[in-house]
Amino acid sequence: MTSRDEHEMRVGFAGDAKKITVDVPTGDAPPWDLDTRLTSVGGRTRRIDAVAKVTGRARYAYDVDLPGMLHAVVARSPHAAGRLASLDLSAVAALPGVAAVIPLKEPGNRVRFVGDPIAAIAAQRLDQALDALAAVRAEYTTEAAVTDFRDHPDAPELVRGEVVGPWPGRGGDEVAAALAAAAHTAEGTWICEVQTHSCLESHGLVAWFKDDGTLEVWASTQATFGVRGGLASALELPEEKVRVHAEFVGGGFGSKFGADAEGVAAARLSRLVKCPVKLMLSRFEDHTCAGNRPSAIIRIRAGIDARGIITAWDYDAWGGPGYTGRGGGTRHNPTYFTRAKTRNSHRDLDSATDAGRAMRAPGWPQGNFAMEGMVERLAELAGMDGLAFRLLNDADPIRQAEWRLGAERFGWEQRRNPKPGTPRDGDPAHLLRGAGLASAFWGQMGGTGNQVTCRIHQDGTVEARNGAQDIGTGMKTVMAVLTAEELGIAPERIRVTMGDTNDPVGPASGGSTTTPSLAPTVRHAAWLAKAELCERVAAALRVEPGSVRCEGGRVIAGDRALGFDEACRLIGPTPVEATGRRFRNYEGYQDSVAGCQFAAVVVDARTGVVRVEKMLAVQDCGLVIDTLLAENQVLGAMIQGMSYALHEQRIVDRATGRMLNGDFLNYKISGPADLPDMEAIMFPVANGKNNVGAAGLGEPPAIAAPAAIANAVGNAIGIPLRHLPITLDKVLAALAEARRNR
């Protein structure tokens, strides 16, 4: 059991600072708090790999081209459900250029969706492999299939977009009583369609099974060590015989944790042909076979008292996660309901489609869209505007401050439409403007089990090394900034290596864990290396080690000040090397991070087109390690959330189960022409959870954007729209119904 030392620190933020005593594990670096003065941390550092990316020198898995490399493709089922009756690959093996073909599914096994892999082909050229797909002879026994979870026998009945039928019978007595006692109650249904990941780089890898029995892999992955373990297991190899590279990764958003069927197929083919094999999915395969954000149906009933406080909350949801029938759960911010009786129920309904996967805050954008929509309705019943209602009900002290800061910066009072459904002064009658807002919540503070090596060379070169991946978030730059801060030098001096499983173990990039898991480890490694550097300098100069410190690009020893390079020359030919570890989290200030977003829209009532004019986010991520990187994360999440709110929808032929818009011509995502004026305000909090105070950031800002935009549209047109994406046909239908009702 790790021994611990008591440490007093000041945590929180300027509006809510307090002193706490935490038990810091013996040997950890002294934790930073509100009173710590930092130089590199919190600045605006240019990404250390920026030049490599913008010049094209960065090599992604898709770019790997090895001598003698073969190209592979996957043959897939054209049917949504049934069994593979027979599979004949003999004609494929005889084709020119084909080096190998292997089955991926044995006859008699089930096919579960259109695109289920049945065989893999490797050829000298990609066009030869693609041509060979036509020679695969597969026969199937097909079955009737449910290709939309709304057609499942256990799906709720929808009438005009609203769930009808009884509420769950168990666990709702207290909620029912609170609803009966409420001054006002409301009920409604929200629907979300499937969103695909649409990564910059498609899924896949290059596998090279070598003569010595080792496997070397270049993968597009957000889990280098996960891919290593998966391939080792699939090929029955010791993990030390598998090496995975992922120096640059073109995004993942939750869909790239494993080697997947294509990765295992490439490795098997490589072992068979004894040369490198590249298998990267096409865009259509990426849309249809590599996971998605599941669809959802959510109904809520809720009540408030005469003051406007939420007293009852009943949340009932169904998820559509595809053929696995699991992973479609939805979630929402809990901080509005600390004074309410609550119940949350969920059921996943399977369908014969590609399985859902984690996607940037899995389940949260769907659930928060519904929750914030109901909060808007409750605010209306209370006779309050949305901001005032949230300030009354939100129990999070960080978000209370964020609401106020964001509202002032955004111009909430000026942008919200006081008469929803009517044009603002000076606007033509067909242009309707409105504003909306929504909260973000996340609970990830990182975990243990990773290591980082910091190495200081005699020539002044400093290395920071970890085997995890940087999926585009800028983790290499985070490592440089933290190492530089501890050593008192510029981040540009640090040489960071990531994405090689021969380096120390690191986490997968999921759940917003990478930074809060690795950042304290990086700092611990640099802190240990600094201590050894100071000891060697002290010995060379014959001074006490305690009199040596690193700051401002110098190493100060007593009354002498040496440049960092000069000091490093004293360490001798053997580099200083230290391996940092990740200690367990402390008690700290708060176990979650908070954020909020505001959106302003203009709706053309003639066409139904919605344009977002302004978006603003205020977001906590604990200590902001680099402001430029953090803002970039938030802005990217807002864009992705806007795309989900207004554009993205997988369209499946219900008869065949085939996706009809599996390309970027027909699957609409937000592009440069769609982008509004955007602003990200970072809200630093000294959370006292680890020696840096880092917390998760990648996912929470993706939670709020769809709900904020949907609420803005409702404020503009005077009608809540409860079905994502909010496309022009839905806007026009809502406006037409409103005219009929009038």
The model's pLDDT over 398-413, given as tens digits with 9 standing for 90+, comes to: 999 999 999 999 999 9
CATH architecture type of domain 396-445+588-742 = 2-Layer Sandwich (3.30)
Amino acid residing at 519: A
Report d(CA 715, CA 709) in Å as an integer. 10
The tens digit of pLDDT for each residue in 60-110 reads 999 999 999 999 999 999 999 999 999 999 999 999 999 999 999 999 999
Token digits of residue 428 = 């033509």
The tens digit of pLDDT for each residue in 317-347 reads 999 999 999 999 999 999 999 999 999 999 9
CATH of 68-149, one of 3.90.1170.50, 3.90.220.20, 3.40.50.20, 3.10.20.90: 3.90.1170.50
Q: Which of 127, 78, 71, 77 is nearest to 100 (CA)?
A: 71
Average pLDDT in the 444-469 region? Answer: 96
The CATH fold assigned to 447-584 is Aldehyde Oxidoreductase; domain 4 (3.30.365)
Q: Please give the pLDDT value at position 3.
A: 72
CB 441 within 8 A of CB 333: yes
CB 122 within 8 A of CB 129: yes
260 to each of 85, 336, 570, how far by Cα in Å?
24, 39, 50
Report d(CA 430, CA 424) in Å as an integer. 10
Q: Please give the pLDDT value at position 1.
A: 46
388 to each of 14, 135, 384, how far by Cα in Å?
22, 65, 6
Domain segments of the chain as ranges: 68-149, 396-445+588-742, 447-584
CB 464 within 8 A of CB 526: yes
The tens digit of pLDDT for each residue in 602-623 reads 999 999 999 999 999 999 999 9
Q: What percent of the chain has pLDDT over 70?
A: 100
Report d(CA 12, CA 19) in Å as an integer. 9
Question: pTM for the complete prediction?
Answer: 0.97
Placement of tokens 């609803």 in the chain? 179
Cα Rg, the chain, nearest whole Å = 28
Amino acid residing at 630: A
Amino acid residing at 281: L
Q: Please give the pLDDT value at position 478.
A: 98
Q: Please give the pLDDT value at position 2.
A: 60
- Confidence tier at 169 by pLDDT (50, 70, 90): confident
- Give CB contacts under 8 A, 24+ apart, made by 167-175: 167/301, 167/314, 167/316, 168/316, 168/343, 168/345, 171/343, 171/345, 172/314, 172/343, 174/341, 174/343, 175/312, 175/313, 175/314, 175/341, 175/342, 175/343
- Confidence tier at 430 by pLDDT (50, 70, 90): very high
Q: Which residues contact 79 (CB under 8 A, 6 or more apart)?
A: 111, 114, 140, 142, 657
357 to each of 254, 325, 561, 683, how far by Cα in Å?
7, 12, 55, 30
* Domain 396-445+588-742 shares a fold with domain 447-584: yes
Q: Please give the pLDDT value at position 74.
A: 98
Token digits of residue 685 = 């909090």
Q: Please give the pLDDT value at position 454.
A: 98
Report d(CA 99, CA 84) in Å as an integer. 24
356 to each of 225, 294, 421, 670, how far by Cα in Å?
22, 5, 37, 22
The neighbouring-strand residues paired with 455 are: 463, 577
- Mean pLDDT across the chain: 96
- Confidence tier at 57 by pLDDT (50, 70, 90): very high
Judged against a pLDDT cut of 70, whether residue 204 lies above it is answered with yes
The tens digit of pLDDT for each residue in 477-521 reads 999 999 999 999 999 999 999 999 999 999 999 999 999 999 999
Q: Which of 679, 697, 678 is nearest to 687 (CA)?
A: 697
